[in-house]
Amino acid sequence: MYPASFEYVAPATLEEALDTLGRYEDDAKVLAGGQSLIPLMKLRLAAPRVVVDINRLPGLDTLAEEDGGLRIGALVRHKACEKSELLGGRWGTLGAAAPLISDPIIRNLGTVCGSLAHADPQGDWGSALLAMDAEVVARSPDGTRTIPLRELFQGPFVTTLEPTEIITEVRVPDPGPTAGGTYLKLERKVGDFATVGVAVHLSMDDGRVGRAGIALTAVGPTNLRATAAEEALAGRELTDEAVREAARLAAQAAQPYSDTRGSADYKRTVVRVFTERGLRAAAEALGRPVPGRSAADSVSRTTEEALETTDRQDYFSGEETLAGVMDELEEKPGGPDGGER
């Protein structure tokens, strides 16, 4: 279906963009990557009178550390995050999420901030950035404010943003020197939205967990923080018992419903298993003994290997080229060389 007719403006400055939004208010929509807005307009679920394309605005493509924290500008694409060497180590939760978002075409165009503004409970960035305690910077004709992500998401596709506001960047606070994490996603096939996703972040303090961030994708009306699980870990050593307890609490925090992707019980179980795996992977990435695994096993794999194996939840998950998929398929039981399926 074609979208309803609309006026298209491509301002050259942020002030001009804000001026247009101020004049049209509810009748205007910001266009960033267009990967969610355009399908909605084609389905006539959105019919703005004016579309304000922000792609020509200068200075919104920053992906950089500043004062120990991280800034991700409104025009930073999923692909830029996937390719960024910055998003490992302390920012490992974000680096692990980026290649799992949809497929290469969507990743080339879609933006991190657009994903947050869209507020899809199945969006991956919402959880990865919630786990890292991020906030967005929103500009309007009236000024600038920051909104913590835990206050941004109000419900499915509903945020506390005003129609006249543009998210100019998302800021992630300094996680401290000893920090890391990962993102685990179960998808039916590559390119699909999450059946379940779990973001895990740990900031360590003197050998104990200083701050834990655990957030859940596709198991509630918004991306959810598993607050009780986070609190259960704070100040504790990362023992097997602590990991299991946090995973149990994370599963309790999930609010899944049954659908074609799986039953509510199944999804809750996946949350528990992924939280355990994520915490163990984070411990390993931080060079700490892995809870529930002997010391000899723990030192046998590098950080990259540890994260690599936890990223790959499914056949082909994370692969972006046909050659990559075929290579992976060759290595699978029942691959194209005729093994059993």
CB 239 within 8 A of CB 268: no
Report the alpha-carbon distance of residue 14 to residue 9 in Å, rounded: 12
Beta carbon of residue 240, minimum distance to ligand FAD (angstroms, whole number): 32
- Contacts of ligand FAD in 73-92 (CB under 6 A): 74
Selected range binding ligand FAD among 4-12, 117-125, 173-181, 314-322, rule: CB under 6 A: 117-125
- Contacts of ligand FAD in 122-161 (CB under 6 A): 123-125
Pick one of 93, 111, 195, 310: the residue that binds ligand FAD (CB under 6 A): 111
Tell me how many degrees the CA angle 246-248-250 measures, rounded to the nearest 5: 70
Query: Is 203 or 317 the residue whose CB approaches ligand FAD more closely?
Result: 317
- And the tokens for 182? 């990962």
Selected range binding ligand FAD among 114-122, 244-252, 303-311, 321-329, rule: CB under 6 A: 114-122
Beta carbon of residue 331, minimum distance to ligand FAD (angstroms, whole number): 24
- Contacts of ligand FAD in 169-208 (CB under 6 A): 193
Count of residues near ligand FAD by CB under 6 A: 28
How many angstroms separate the Cα of 279 from the Cα of each of 81, 231, 302?
A: 22, 14, 16
Query: What amino acid occupies position 284?
Result: E
CB 138 within 8 A of CB 145: yes
Query: Is 116 or 212 the residue whose CB approaches ligand FAD more closely?
Result: 116
Look at residues 26, 25, 20, 23 and name the one whose alpha carbon lies nearest to residue 8: 20
- And the tokens for 329? 């398929």
Selected range binding ligand FAD among 23-31, 144-152, 172-180, 308-316, rule: CB under 6 A: 23-31
Report the DSSP pairing between strands 50-53 and 28-31: parallel
Look at residues 54, 38, 34, 33 and name the one whose alpha carbon lies nearest to residue 4: 38
Task: Tell me: does residue 35 bind ligand FAD (CB under 6 A).
Answer: yes
Instruction: Using CB under 6 A, list all residues that contact ligand FAD.
Output: 29-37, 39, 74, 101-102, 106, 110-111, 113-115, 117-118, 120, 123-125, 166-167, 193
